[in-house]
Chain A
Amino acid sequence: MKPPPFDYRAPRTLEEALEDLAEGGKVLAGGQSLIPLLNMRLAAPERLIDINGVASLDALEVTAAGVRAGALARHAAVERSAEAAAVQPLLRQALRHVAHPVIRNRGTVVGSLAHADPAAELPAVLALLDGHVEAASASGRRTVAAADFFTGPLESALRPEELATAAFFPALPPRTGTAFAELARRHGDYALVGAAALVTLDDDLRVRAARAAYLGVADTPVVLDLTGPAVQGQEGRPPGAVDWSAAAAHAVARVNPGGDIHAGADYRRHLVGVLTGRALAEAARNAPPGGT
Chain B
Amino acid sequence: MSGEPVFEITMTVNGVRRGARAPARRLLSDFLRHDLGLTGTHVGCEHGVCGCCTVLMDGDPVRSCLTLAITAAGHEITTVEGLAPGDGEPSPVQRAFQECHGLQCGFCTPGFLCTVTALLRDNPRPTDEEVLEGISGNLCRCTGYQNIVASVHRAAELIAESGDGS
A residues neighboring B (CB under 8 Å): 1-6, 8, 10, 28, 31-32, 35-36, 38-40, 48, 50, 52, 76, 99-103, 105-106, 187-188
| A-B contact list, 12 entries, CB within 8 Å | A4-B25, A5-B4, A8-B25, A35-B27, A100-B51, A100-B137, A101-B136, A102-B61, A102-B137, A103-B63, A106-B62, A106-B67
In the assembled complex, which residues on chain A have CB atoms less than 8 Å from the CB atom of B5? 8
Asked whether A3 lies within 8 Å of B27 as measured between CB atoms, the reply is: yes
Asked whether A52 lies within 8 Å of B71 as measured between CB atoms, the reply is: yes
User: Across the two chains, which residue of chain A brings its CB closest to B1?
Assistant: A5
Please report whether the interface of chain A is mostly helix, strand, loop or mixed according to DSSP. Answer: loop
Quick one: which of A31, A48, A187 contacts B67, CB cutoff 8 A? A31
User: Across the two chains, which residue of chain A brings its CB closest to B139?
Assistant: A186
Question: Once the chains are docked, how many angstroms separate the CA of A120 from the CA of B60?
Answer: 24
CB distance from B33 to the nearest CB of A (A): 13
In the assembled complex, which residues on chain A have CB atoms less than 8 Å from the CB atom of B27? 2-3, 35, 39
Asked whether A28 lies within 8 Å of B137 as measured between CB atoms, the reply is: no
In the assembled complex, which residues on chain B have CB atoms less than 8 Å from the CB atom of A35? 27, 48, 65-68
Question: Once the chains are docked, how many angstroms separate the CA of A36 from the CA of B48?
Answer: 7
B residues neighboring A (CB under 8 Å): 1, 4-5, 7, 23-25, 27, 30, 46-48, 51, 54, 60-63, 65-68, 70-71, 115, 133-134, 136-137
The answer to whether A50 and B54 touch (CB under 8 A), given A2-B27, A103-B63, is no
12 additional contacts, CB 8 Å, given A32-B48, A36-B46? A5-B25, A6-B24, A8-B5, A28-B68, A28-B71, A35-B27, A35-B65, A52-B71, A100-B136, A102-B62, A103-B48, A103-B63
Quick one: which of B30, B63, B67 contacts A2, CB cutoff 8 A? B30
In the assembled complex, which residues on chain A have CB atoms less than 8 Å from the CB atom of B51? 100, 102
State the 7 A-B residue pairs at the shortest beta-carbon distance, nearest first: A100-B137, A8-B24, A36-B47, A3-B25, A1-B46, A35-B66, A105-B60
Question: Once the chains are docked, how many angstroms separate the CA of A5 from the CA of B62?
Answer: 23
Quick one: which of B30, B46, B137 contacts A103, CB cutoff 8 A? B137
